Structure 1
Amino acid sequence: MHKIGVLEIAKDILKANKRLADKNRELLNKYNVKAIDFMGAIGSGKTLLIEKLIDSLKDKYKIACIAGDVIAKYDAERFKKHGVEVIPLNTGKECHLDAHLVSHALEELNLEEIDYLFIENVGNLICPADFDLGTHKRVVVVSTTEGDDIIAKHPQIMRTADLIVINKIDLAGYVGANVDKMVNDAKTINPNAKVVKLSLKTMEGFNEILNFVKNLKG
């Protein structure tokens, strides 16, 4: 009975989160704001990727960021240096953002003046998987330095992704990672996701990601 009770509570939490996520998406759609949830472990390179995207888009589009972390100010400060509005969301002991937290952040933003909203989720590949935030796309960033079995070890979050980014391919040879294996694992787990090999040192693959983002605006 105890296990059944725990499962029912978990289901109720996810259902409640989904309802809030749908409301968040409706609000964003009302103002034609395109939102992306960036997920990935600490050190995968998702913060730097967001910074590069901001710099490539900010001359044409208005961008805002939500930085989610146990202590969010550090990544929030990085984003602010690029001249965009940033809402830091401290999760404390929680290992993921949820739709409720994001809804409060949306209240602080002037959505009429935003084209893109980039949400950086908490740095892990487990907790964020089940929690829809109300975004239009989900991006999962992994790096070769995490090992070439990182994708196979985390199928649940990979199945939620619209874009899977395999980052730090320039370091693959140094850490003995097989990038082709990582690509194949991603395509096997989620055939519908776009898979991009990326190096933010050489910028290989970056334009593919940039076009993925631009295409959201049509």
Structure 2
Amino acid sequence: MCTVCGCGDGEVKVHGHKHHSHDHSHTHSHSHDDGLHFGDGAAGVSVPGYSQERLIKIETDILAKNDRYAELNRAKLAAQEVFAVNLVSSPGSGKTTLLCKTIEALGGQPLAVIEGDQQTQNDADRIRATGAPAIQVNTGKGCHLDGHMVGHAIEHLTLSHGSLLFIENVGNLVCPASFDLGEDCKVAILSVTEGEDKPLKYPDMFTAARLAILNKIDLAPHCDVDLDLYTANLRRVNPTIEILNLSARTGEGMSEWITWLRTNLAQKQLQGAAE
């Protein structure tokens, strides 16, 4: 049960790489209080029979349990010096296309992908077509991945030392901001067609992100888009956020993105060697 928007539980299914017999499904819930659905306590949502303090405590307990799963994931990835990126965006930003182009540009770099969607294996199939291993996590009615789901998916992956792990979250700019998956950082992807005020409407996500990618800049001349305003609004909610402008379709700006990934992976490996 999502503590942010109150979305319902469904059967979570983890589908392994089609070349292995790892297909698995399980019922998963991160609600622990009589199936209670509620929104953000700070927003003043009320549920009959529950005080505001009680709602906040329940939400805190759920997030604390998620954080314990996330720390287990983080420790496992650190031991293998794997740099993990949590890709977050609204639907239609171009996450999967960007990811496919990224895999192609990285060449022989060891990597793997965890795909999050409510239904279908369409995106995982697209990733596998590039030759990269991918695990599909279908969240049912859930609107985001959590630490438990990602930990379960990692068990189905063979991650070599010094790999990149891409976690493509469910398309949603609200709930994924609250759930740590054990990743090294969140990368928020925007397309130029979404509106320059998107960072102001969803500040939690862009505050939580280390990097913002403004995608589909090849469309900017046709959409009356102010790229400088996008940047200004991102800096307004997160003064330290890094920003890259690119087009996954044309390849413009892709080299900077690949450099960013390689640099951060190298830093993770140096950190591991020093510990």
TM-score with structure 1 setting the length: 0.95
SS at match of 2:160: helix
What is the percent sequence identity of the aligned residues?
Answer: 40
Distance in 1 between the 2:224 and 2:218 partners? 11
| Alignment match, 1:71 | 119
Question: In the alignment, is residue 149 of structure 1 matched against residue 213 of structure 2?
Answer: no
SS at match of 2:177: helix
| Alignment match, 2:134 | 86
| Alignment match, 1:176 | 224
Distance in 2 between the 1:183 and 1:174 partners? 19
Q: Deviations over 1:111-131 (max 9, x none)?
A: 236611111000011110100
Higher helix proportion (structure 1 or 2): 1
Give the 4+ runs in structure 1 shifted more than 3 A: none
Equivalent residue for 1:96, pick from 130, 144, 148: 144
Q: Deviations over 1:40-79 (max 9, x none)?
A: 01110111111111111132x1111000010140100000
Distance in 2 between the 1:122 and 1:114 partners? 26
Distance in 2 between the 1:84 and 1:203 partners? 20
Q: Deviations over 1:123-169 (max 9, x none)?
A: 01111010010011210001111112112111100001111011112
Contact 2:81–2:161 (8 Å) recurs in 1: no
Number of corresponding residues: 217
Contact 1:64–1:114 (8 Å) recurs in 2: no
| Alignment match, 2:74 | 25
TM-score with structure 2 setting the length: 0.76
Question: In the alignment, is residue 5 of structure 1 matched against residue 54 of structure 2?
Answer: yes
* Structure 2 unmatched ranges of 5 or more: 1-49, 267-275
Contact 1:72–1:89 (8 Å) recurs in 2: no
Question: In the alignment, is residue 58 of structure 1 matched against residue 100 of structure 2?
Answer: no
State which structure, 1 or 2, has the greater radius of gyration over its C-alpha atoms.
Answer: 2
| Alignment match, 1:205 | 253
RMSD of aligned alpha carbons: 1.3
Q: Deviations over 1:76-129 (max 9, x none)?
A: 000000001111000000000000000101111122366111110000111101
* Structure 1 unmatched ranges of 5 or more: none
User: Quick one: which amino acid aligns to residue 87 of structure 1?
Assistant: I
